[in-house]
Chains A and B, each alone.
Chain A
Amino acid sequence: MTAQAKEGRPEGAVSTPPSPAPPAIKLVGISKAFGPVQANKDISISVQPGTIHGIIGENGAGKSTLMSILYGFYKADKGDIYISGQKTEIPDSQAAIAAGIGMVFQHFKLVENFSVLENVILGAEDGALLRPSLAKARKSLTELSAEYGLDVDPDAIIEDIGVGMQQRVEILKALYRQAEILILDEPTGVLTPAEADQLFRILDRLRDEGKTIILITHKLREIMEITNTVSVMRRGEMTATVKTSETDPAHLAEMMVGRKVLLRVDKEPAKLGDEVLAVENLQVTDEKGVLRLKGVSLNVRAGEVLGIAGVAGNGQSELLAVLGGMMPGSGTIRVNGQEIDLTGKDSNGQTRRARGIAHVPEDRQTAGLIMEFSAWENIIFGYHTDEQYQSGVLMDNSGIIKLAGEQMDRFDVRPPNPRLSAKNFSGGNQQKIVLAREIERNPDLLLIGQPTRGVDIGAIEFIHKQIIALRDSGKAILLVSVELEEIMSLSDRIAVMFDGHIMGERLPSETDEKELGLLMAGVNEETA
């Protein structure tokens, strides 16, 4: 085990090491390709013991791949790993655990119908029989909980506890295996700001106890708040490693994307028209019987963008789903003054489209597109029953192919080949196919979720311009995004969702990220 990691101190290790302790982790020349995609290119990095080291980069920059290699989940094509100065082979997770590495994945790796205790001992049992292992783990869990402030009920069943708690179980799993190095992959993605703060306090404490922590994130705020050192990844390469105290968010952002990003979108003031969408007391219960929307009311007028901000999982997805006809709900929704059905067989995507509602869903890979369908089949997806695409009882395939080619040209889809399967386009071009389909129908209302998730910078600008152009042509737009910056720059009005409620509405000119962040955490200072 890496006992010497204990020696390191938070700041001393970075600036003036009392004794030259070897780095907790040193990666030299790591490369990894998945088929033709080079996920990691010749990456070298060294992480000092007793520090929190941030790794930042856009989606798809190769952060998770790199950490999965370190955890033995993938095997690097080239390169060496040194743990506390020792060259170490990590062919599988077993070896990583033996080397004192623990990992908390973005999607937790817990057995849902097992207890906390069973999850903690899984793979780290002391013998062939469970009873002694469980007793020992119970004792050590109590100790670990006290030591690091990680409160959990050892007998709780995973599916009954919240995500914040589940994440603590994941951390406890690593600590129970005596991990000295802890990797966290996008740990705050599913947490509220308050839960995230709590996590950061735990990480602080772990660092004080001498653990080494690697934090993977794409959120600049987290890097600035908690890390000692930060490494930036871009397109599979490590572009820089700097001390956090010597950098600032703008500089980091620039290194992440490779050039200065224009976060503000140029736009004229909104010319408001009539109310297009009016939602009153909307409630939605999901398949498990959990109330996801607890009475949402909002409205969108022609010529404006209403942005819905919030931490993922606070009801935004359900709001889009019920508006788009993918889920039943109760309450009232009016479009252009006319009420629409929220249940029954007349409540579905096709009847919504007939009422002038277009929908760019949050997940284009599982909803917006059929990945195995060609581009031309996708360009009519959801509109495929329209009369214009039929010729007699059959579909007018050649006509659709021609139309698809034209639309792909207009939306700059590359390559502009309608016969190519959707899965063969890049994320940005896939999103452009969806946008082309929905915007070309000239809808009254566009629902758009996570418009730029997993989309490259060039395409982001294009997509943002299209959204603003649609607004300026007098259409109503409801935008859902977990990227606060995107909400701030596109919206004319911002509504913040928390726990199935609208916490409050703000004008972008009269608010800031701090206030919105509080609203996202369920704190409304106006009412408090």
Chain B
Amino acid sequence: MDKMPAWADAVLVPLISLILAGVLSALVILAIGESPVEAVNYMVKGAFGSTNGWGYTLYYATNFMFTGLAVAVAFHARMFNIGGEGQAMLGGLGVALVCLYIPWPHWSLALIGSITGAAIFGALWAAIPAYLQARRGSHIVITTIMFNFIAFSVLNYVLVNVLKPAGAMDPATAKFPEATHLPTLHDMLAPLGIAFSKSSPANVTLFVALAACVGVYYLIWRTKLGYEIRAYGFSESGAVYAGISPFKIIMVVMLLSGALAGGMAVNNVMGEAERLVMNSVEGAGFIGIAVALMGRSHPFGVFLAAILFGFLYQGGAEMAFWTKIPRELVVVIQALVILFTGALDNMVRMPLEKMFLAMRKKGDA
């Protein structure tokens, strides 16, 4: 028999991890002489207290859905894609090229174009580590880390030497043309009579991210490709026996993962900044790791975890504004979530398993 019921594994374990991370974070706040209650208050008010707050929360959550799904999809094939950061950077380059060099008649077409551009560039950036893993056995974690740094240099070079408008100082592209500007939640909700903050960056990409969650669910659990990805993830020798090519699975899953990470650029580069700047990803690629771990690599879990981290990011910024607690608290919380849901998973799990085993014995007796 399984040691724990499925619901406990899916809900209880991440929940306890989250609580542990929360308690420790509260202790950190106490230790620097601030009030955790006050901090949480500011965070909740800042993230959910106004449509402006909601807008930012959902904007961040959109980023994290993309990067979280990227990590989650790769996890199903036991590939740890730590290169979401670099893939999202390159995705941004794809979006910038599509938006700057193709004269789009309407934002909807530009959206499709930039999704394609972001996905292709992100996927290509994941393709090299994937190929090296599949053919040469180079550890995907190390190569994707290296590719994050290389991506930074590539983007830096392209922005400084190629895409920077003449005379501009900072390494960034020109502003994208008007026709590529995506409708924000404000624009979309106004016809429905809902007044949504005009200044918040949440935009139509949110729905692209939600569609991606649904798509990934169907892909992983309902298609033969998903079946093969999961089979390969559980047992490589089993996959070979069944005639599933490990090369194909590694390539496909990493291209998909890279494409999803790259897809994030549609939100932040096209939807928010409307130009490509150097530091546009802002660590969202790494937050994807926390989101995927927290969400147990399930698209619905990723969705919830992305909202949670969107809340932490927006709430954390507000908290830093109103209290003396620096914004880096969010990085600490993120670290603790990764620690408890990822590395210390057994610490949370083992006592729970013992508890359920004891309960079952009692029930049997």
Contact = CB atoms under 8 A, between A and B. Distances in A.
Direct contact of A and B (CB under 8 A): yes
Interface string B228-254: 101100110110111111000000000
A326 B237 CA distance: 9
A384 B224 contact: yes
Contact of A326 (B218, B241, B357): B241
Given A350-B242, A361-B241, 11 more contacts: A326-B240, A349-B241, A349-B243, A350-B243, A353-B243, A359-B241, A367-B235, A368-B241, A371-B234, A384-B227, A385-B224
Interface in A330-379: 345, 348-353, 359, 361, 363, 366-373, 377
Contacts, number: 72
B223 interface: yes
30 contacts: A36-B1, A325-B243, A326-B240, A348-B240, A348-B243, A348-B245, A349-B241, A349-B242, A351-B243, A352-B243, A359-B241, A361-B241, A363-B237, A366-B235, A366-B238, A367-B235, A367-B237, A367-B240, A367-B241, A368-B238, A369-B238, A370-B238, A372-B234, A381-B238, A382-B241, A384-B227, A390-B224, A393-B223, A395-B224, A421-B2
A126 B270 CA distance: 68
A394 B219 CA distance: 8
Nearest to B218: A394
Contacts of A349: 240-244
A359 to B, nearest CB: 7
B222 interface: yes
Interface in A382-417: 382, 384-385, 389-390, 393-395, 397
A327 to B, nearest CB: 8
A418 interface: no
A366 B240 CA distance: 10
A381 B231 contact: yes
A324 interface: yes
A424 interface: yes
Contacts of B245: 345, 348
What is the size category of the interface that chain A forms with chain B?
A: 35 or more
B227 A377 contact: yes
Nearest to A352: B243
Contacts of A35: 357
A70 B234 CA distance: 34
Contacts of B231: 370, 373, 381
A395 B237 contact: no
B237 A366 contact: yes
The interface centre, meaning the residue of A359, A370, A390 with most chain B CB atoms within 10 A of its CB, is: A370
Contacts of B357: 35
B2 A384 contact: no
Nearest to B241: A367
Nearest to A397: B222
A382 B223 contact: no
Nearest to A349: B243
Contacts of A372: 234
B223 A367 contact: no
A345 B2 CA distance: 38
Contacts of B240: 326, 348-349, 367
Interface in A96-141: none
Given A395-B223, A424-B1, A384 B234 contact: no
Contacts of A367: 235, 237-238, 240-241
The interface centre, meaning the residue of A35, A352, A382, A424 with most chain B CB atoms within 10 A of its CB, is: A382
Given A384-B224, A390-B224, A373 B241 contact: no
A382 B227 contact: no
Interface string B206-236: 0000000000001000111001101100110
Contacts of A325: 243
Contacts of A353: 243
A366 B227 CA distance: 17
Which 9 A-B residue pairs are closest in the complex by CB-CB distance?
A349-B243, A350-B243, A382-B242, A367-B241, A348-B243, A394-B222, A366-B237, A370-B234, A372-B234
B295 to A, nearest CB: 19
A384 B238 contact: no
A349 B246 CA distance: 12
A327 B178 CA distance: 57
Contacts of A345: 245
B237 A384 contact: no
A260 B14 CA distance: 53
A424 B222 contact: no
A361 B238 CA distance: 10
